[in-house]
Structure 1
Amino acid sequence: MKHRLSILLLLVSYVTLACGQIVFPSPNQVEMKKGKLTLRKNISMYTADTTAFYISLLRSEVLRDASVKWQSKASAAHICWMNDPSLPPEGYKISINPKQMTITASGERGFIYAVQTLRQWVSGPAGKLTFACADITDSPRMQWRCFLLDSGRQYQRISTIKKYIDMASLLKMNYFHWHLTEGLGWRIEIKRYPRLA
């Protein structure tokens, strides 16, 4: 039994080294390529909408607040955001080569899930971010991917709830079911209805 566990761990580590980064849940298709894209302090980006939520999500969670320079041409940028209406609403494509990363989606939801994949794909410290070269294509298999948090039976701090929501988003869950009440009590204070609490 002890030897079987050692062999299993060895195989898992070999698969990890051979295939590159592991993304969970696994994208529909990942085609690994040779090389890596390395981004340093000054990162250039091309997009039609610089104020979109997914841009700020990428900057805070993936680029780790590195300075970004906006480009007017896609060919001059390290990271390009492209719209493709033929993709499903939550689907996306990421193409990474040693010079550039292109992220394609049909709308904001697809771009957000692409950023969540990149959060798991990136490696290296701030100031030298590395992405293994690959073509990634993904779209959800199911429309509803729910996360349930039961605050009716067990109290959580606000920071804990925010952390749970962030982890659920990282796993590309798109609905949050928040269980707030029980027959024994109501856990949220509402000034208008003081007898609830």
Structure 2
Amino acid sequence: MVNIIWACMAIAGIVYALFNGTIEDVNKAIFTSANDAVTLTIGLISILVFWMGMMKVAEKAGILQMLANLFRPIIVRLFPELPKDHPAIGYILSNITANLFGLGNAATPMGLKAMEEMKKLSGTQEASRSMITFLALNTSGLTLIPTTVIAIRMQYGSVEPTEIVGTTIIATIISTTSALLIDRFYYYKSIRRK
């Protein structure tokens, strides 16, 4: 559906430019934007590869395991219906760790595996409490170091590309706390209704 909306907007813009006499400006903008997109993408790939390499180094050095052990008590409390040694817990921990470092693309496969494991555990087509909580956590924008945004700021010549880290941490704390409170509110509200 979104593809159709974008296509309609592009067609409407081109038709308007034809009647308005600004088709040359539209052509120039299309090619300039395409060039900028390719340049930005190549820059983001290099940053993503760097951080994924750093994650591999952290994994081999045991830092990720240390972080997983640090967050395990919190995760076990957030997902009480999951057995403590269930594979979903490991995937959730990996997903959250990758998200904390702003590696959303690297976190996605682990998040999907966590959802698959939780679905197997629930045995139904409906989303379980754990699945909803995990989705709320991921949707809240759980990030401490926004590597992708820092990379974009570096590419566009920002004098201080890392100055957003402080505000990102504040936003993460507020959004994650809000997501968990809303998740719990609706969970307990549904229990009271039953």
TM-score (norm 1): 0.30
Structure 1 or 2: larger helix share?
Answer: 2
TM-score (norm 2): 0.30
Structure 1 or 2: larger strand share?
Answer: 1
